[in-house]
Chains A and B, each alone.
Chain A
Amino acid sequence: DVKVTQSSRYLVKRTGEKVFLECVQDMDHENMFWYRQDPGLGLRLIYFSYDVKMKEKGDIPEGYSVSREKKERFSLILESASTNQTSMYLCASSGGGGNQPQHFGDGTRLSIL
């Protein structure tokens, strides 16, 4: 079974802090994704990556950056956290070929105070 692990289930940070959310997958997947999920807005794509050191902007990249130094790890960085970034963050991965299912982690519920 595919395992996507997000480092924290719950996280509380303060406005202006630099925040790191980590995601690791164990299936040698090429593709990795970061979403945020908000009531009434559904899942929105922040960034994705199709290969090591490669990144592409999703629908809402403002205020975020990502890092993929190793194939199995995809980090989401909030450069200067703001209260409107309080949300559920979900990481996903999928195999190459563009036609593989996405597998999700359990999510990180981030609160910015």
Chain B
Amino acid sequence: KQEVTQIPAALSVPEGENLVLNCSFTDSAIYNLQWFRQDPGKGLTSLLLIQSSQREQTSGRLNASLDKSSGRSTLYIAASQPGDSATYLCAVLINDMRFGAGTRLTVKP
């Protein structure tokens, strides 16, 4: 059964720092990997989708990479801002979507 792990569970950084969030998965036979953002009490907002054949995707200050063979993905956030504070979840798609538990990010002004 696919297991998705996100480390760290929580992260606090000062504004302006570049940071990396990690996601690992046990079964490399995935169709895609998706990164989401979740604000407290809200649903999930899709940030980036990486297809299994791709190595990375970029959107603004966000860059996500995928290494299928090692079962890892990273989400890089450049020049972090207080508005980036949220929980970030990764999910992999095989027959259905499997989610990590998330990393709770706090960016301090």
Contacts and interface: CB of A to CB of B under 8 A. Distances in A.
Interface of A: 4, 6, 33, 40, 42-43, 45, 48, 58, 90, 92, 98-99, 101-107, 109
Interface of B: 31-32, 34, 36, 41-46, 49, 51, 89, 91, 93, 96-97, 99-102
Secondary structure type dominating chain A contacts? strand
Given A99-B32, A99-B93, A109-B41, 13 more contacts: A4-B43, A6-B43, A40-B101, A42-B100, A43-B91, A45-B97, A90-B43, A98-B93, A99-B51, A102-B97, A104-B44, A104-B45, A107-B43
B22 to A, nearest CB: 16
B43 A101 contact: no
B4 to A, nearest CB: 9
Contacts, number: 45
Contacts of B97: 33, 45, 102
Contacts of A48: 96
Contact of B34 (A33, A101, A106): A101
